[in-house]
A and B are shown apart, each in its own frame.
Chain A
Amino acid sequence: MTARLRQAMAGLHTWAGVCLGTLLFIIFWMGSLSVFDREIDRWMMPATRLPAPAATPSLDATVVPVAERLAAGAAMWTVVLPGARVPAIELRYTDGQGQPVRRHIDPASGRLLPEAGSVGASGFFFPFHFRLHLRFADLGYWLVGAAGMAMLVLLVSGVIVHRRIFSDFFTFRPTRALPRAVLDVHNLSGVLVLPFHFVITLSGLIIFFAIYFPAAYQVAYTGAAGGARAAFDQAAFGSWQRPASGRPGELASLDAMLATARALWQGREAYQVRVRHPGDAAAYVEIRRSVADDIPMNIDRLIFDGTSGRLLHRHGARPVMAVQRFIAGLHFIQFRHGLLRGLYFVAGLAGCMMIGSGLLFWLAARRRRGAGAGMRLVEALTVGGMTGTMIATLAFLLANRLLPAELAGRAGVEMQVFFGVWVLGFCHAALRPHEAWRAQSRMIGLAAVAAVVLNTLTTGLHPLAAVAAGQWAVAGVDGVLLLSAGLAGWAARHGRRSSTAAHAAVDGGHG
Chain B
Amino acid sequence: MAEGALLAACLAAYGGFGLLALSMSRHWRDLAGSRVLPVGRRRGLRWAGALALATSIALAVWREGAGFGSVLGVMQLSGAAVAVALTLSARPRWLCALAAGLAGRGH
Contact = CB atoms under 8 A, between A and B. Distances in A.
Contact of B89 (A174, A194, A294, A344): A174
Contact of A343 (B17, B75, B81, B86): B75
A172 interface: yes
B75 A196 contact: yes
A337 B71 CA distance: 11
B81 A170 contact: yes
Contacts of B17: 170
Nearest to B86: A172
A340 interface: yes
Contact of B78 (A169, A173, A196, A330): A196
Interface in B9-26: 17, 20-21, 24, 26
B81 A192 contact: yes
Given A188-B82, A337-B68, A340-B68, A170 B74 contact: no
B67 interface: yes
Contacts of B81: 169-170, 192
B72 interface: yes
B21 A170 contact: yes
A192 B6 contact: no
A171 B71 CA distance: 25
Nearest to A330: B71
Interface string A460-488: 00000000000000000000000000000
A173 B71 contact: no
Interface string A281-304: 000000000000011100000000
Nearest to B3: A339
Interface centre among B17, B26, B27, B85 (most CB of A within 10 A): B85
Contacts of B79: 343, 346
Interface string B54-84: 0000000000000110011011111101101
Nearest to B85: A170
Interface string A383-414: 00000000000000000000000000000000
A193 B68 contact: no
A347 B78 contact: yes
Contact of B67 (A169, A294, A347): A294
A295 B67 contact: yes
A339 B67 contact: no
A196 B79 CA distance: 11
B88 interface: yes
Contacts of A192: 78, 81-82, 85
Which 9 residue pairs across A and B have the least CB separation, nearest first?
A172-B89, A192-B81, A170-B85, A343-B75, A295-B67, A193-B78, A172-B85, A170-B21, A195-B74
28 contacts: A167-B24, A169-B21, A170-B21, A170-B24, A170-B81, A170-B84, A172-B86, A172-B88, A173-B89, A188-B82, A189-B82, A192-B85, A193-B78, A193-B82, A194-B78, A195-B74, A195-B77, A195-B78, A196-B78, A295-B67, A295-B68, A296-B67, A335-B68, A337-B68, A339-B6, A343-B75, A343-B76, A343-B79
